[in-house]
Structure 1
Amino acid sequence: MESAQITDDDREGLRRAVRSLEHPSLAGRLTSLVGKPVELIGAALPAAASKAIASATSKGLEAALKVALRTLPSSTSSGSSVLLHRALATASGAAGGTFGLAALPVELPLSTVIMLRSIADIARSEGEDLKDPGTALACVEVFALGGRAGSTDASESGYFATRTVLAKTVTEAARFIAERGVVKEGAPVLLKFVSQVAARFGVVVSQKVAAQALPVVGALGGAAVNYAFIEHFQEIARGHFTVRRLERLYGKEAIRAEYNVISAQNVSFCKQR
C-alpha cells in the first residue's frame, strides 16, 4: 500500500490533522476565555507553584499510564463518550477554580485519566488496537504533543519533531511491556517516558493553573477552563491517530512527505495574509 495514491478524502483528513497538530495553542483559548495572557502568567508562577505543578503533572501521567496499560481494552466506552468525558473533566475543573492550587494534586490526576480514556476512544475509532502496548503509549504521548508551541519551520514539523524525540523511549517501553507481560510502573524505561511527556505536558498545565488562579475565574470559570483543556487534547488526539491510520495505509514516509507539504502550504498562506 505504500505506493498507493492518497485519496481525496484521506488528504483532506490529513489537512485537518495538520491544522490541529501544528497550531496546538491552549494558551490562545484560555486567553480568550479569561481575557488575560495566561501564557505570560503561567511562565511567571512562583517557584512553589511550579514545583507543585511538576509533582501533580508527573502523578497525573503515572496514573494515566497505569490506566492505559492495564484497563483500556476492557473498559473503554463507546465512541459517543467524547461529550461525556468533556462533562466529567469540566466538573473536576470546578474544584480547581474553587480551591486553586491546593486542589491540583487531586484534580489533575483525575482530569488526566478522564482525558486518557477519551483519547483512547479516539484512537480506537481510528483503527488502533488498544491491547497493543504501542497504542497505549501513543495515547499517553498525546499529552506531549499537545504541550508544545506551534511549529514555524515548514521543512520539519513540530509534530514529527516531538514524535522523533519520544520514538526511542516509546519503542523501548513497548518492547519492555511486551517481553515482561507485567507492567512495573517503577521500571526505568517507563519512568523515562513519563518524564519526557511531563516536560511538555507541564507547560499547558501551568497555563491551566494560571487561568484558574485568576480572581475572576472561580468554580464556574474553572469548569470552563477544564472544558477547553480536554477539548484541546481531544483535537490533538484526533490529528495524531489520523496520521497513524494514514501511515498504516500509505506508509510512514509517504504520509510524512505529504504532511510537510501541507504544513509548508499553510505557513506560506499565513505569511501572505
Structure 2
Amino acid sequence: MMTAPGQHSDVVDLTPDDLDALRRAVHALEHPSLAARLTAMVGKPIELIGYALPAPASRAISTATSKALEMALKVAIKTMRRDPLAGSQLLHRALVSASGAAGGAFGLATLPIELPISTIIMLRSIADIARSEGEDLSDPEAALSCVEVFALGGRSGSDDASESGYFALRGLLAKSVTEAARYVAQRGVVAEGAPVLVRFIADVASRFGVVVTQKVAAQALPVIGALGGAAVNYAFLEHFQDVARGHFTVRRLERVYGKELIEKEYTRLAERD
C-alpha cells in the first residue's frame, strides 16, 4: 500500500511498474550525453572538436540557438494547447533527419534555417511524450516544461554530476519556468522582448547551445555529408526524446506520490546507477 498523505515512512512504496519506470528515468536523465553518441558515430571526440570551433561559428550557433528557442516557445504556447492529437514519432524522426541532411550537405550556412525547423519538430515529439505521461498542455507550466527539456538535455560528458544532475538543473530552472508560466497564464500570449521570457530563453539556451555545438561539430566533419548529417540529427532527436521520457515520467510520479518522496527515491537510484 502507498503511504497515506500526511504519514511518514522509511519505506518507499512505489509499485513495481512505477519503480521500474523511475529507474529508467534516472538512467536517461543522469547519463544524457549526446557527445558520447556522436563520438561513437564519427569516431572522433566531438566535445574537443566543438571546443575548437572558430569564434564566428560559435557566435552563429549562439544566435541560431536563441532564435530556435524563441520560435519553439511560440509554438509551445500558441499551438500545442489547441492540438490534442498525438503526432507520429516516426514522422518526427523522418522530418528531423531530412533537415539534418540539409545541414550536413551545406554546413553552417544553413544552421539559421535548419536548427529552428529541427527544434520545432523535436518540440512536437517532446509534446507527444508529455501527453503520454498525463501532462495537460493547456497549462502554460506544462507547455514550458516541454521547452525546458532542451536545457535538461544539455549536459556535456565532462559536467560534474553533483552540480548538474537532473534535480539540480530543475532547481536552477524552476524560477524562470514559474515566472514565464505565470506571465503567459496572465497574458495568454508570448510578447516579444518580455524580460521574464527573455530570461527563460537565455537559461534554456545556455544549456541547449552545448549540444547544438556538438551537433554542428559532427556535421562539419568532411566525412559526414548529407547522409551523415541526417544520422546526426536522428541522434539529436533521440537524445531529447530520451530526456523527455525521463523528465515527464518523473513529473507523472510526482503527481502520484509527491515530489519529496520521488526525489528521495530518485537520488537513491541515481547513487546506484
1:178-217 equivalences in 2 (<5 Å): 178-217=185-224
1:24-74 deviations in Å (ceiling 9; x for gaps)? 010010011111111100011000000000000000000100000000122
Indicate the percent of aligned positions where both proteins have the same amino acid. Answer: 70
Q: Give the alignment partner of residue 118 of structure 1, picking from 113, 116, 125.
A: 125
8 Å CA contact 2:35–2:156 kept in 1: the answer is no
SS of 1:183's equivalent in the other structure is: coil
Aligned residue pairs: how many? Answer: 264
Cα root mean square deviation, aligned: 1.5
SS of 1:224's equivalent in the other structure is: helix
Q: Give the alignment partner of residue 169 of structure 1, picking from 172, 176, 181.
A: 176
8 Å CA contact 2:78–2:189 kept in 1: the answer is no
Match of 1:46 in 2: 54
TM-score, normalization by structure 2: 0.93
Q: Give the alignment partner of residue 137 of structure 1, picking from 124, 134, 144.
A: 144
The answer on 1:89 being equivalent to 2:96 is yes
Match of 1:269 in 2: none
Q: Give the alignment partner of residue 249 of structure 2, picking from 236, 242, 245.
A: 242
Gaps in structure 2 of 5+ consecutive residues: none
8 Å CA contact 1:76–1:117 kept in 2: the answer is no
Runs of 4+ aligned structure 1 residues displaced above 6 Å come to: none
Q: How far off is 1:90 after superposition?
A: 0.3
8 Å CA contact 2:156–2:210 kept in 1: the answer is no
Q: How far off is 1:76 after superposition?
A: 5.6
Distance 2:83 2:73 in 1: 15
The answer on 1:252 being equivalent to 2:270 is no
SS of 1:10's equivalent in the other structure is: helix
Match of 2:22 in 1: 14
TM-score, normalization by structure 1: 0.93
Q: How far off is 1:183 after superposition?
A: 2.4
Gaps in structure 1 of 5+ consecutive residues: 267-273
8 Å CA contact 1:243–1:255 kept in 2: the answer is yes
Distance 1:153 1:198 in 2: 20
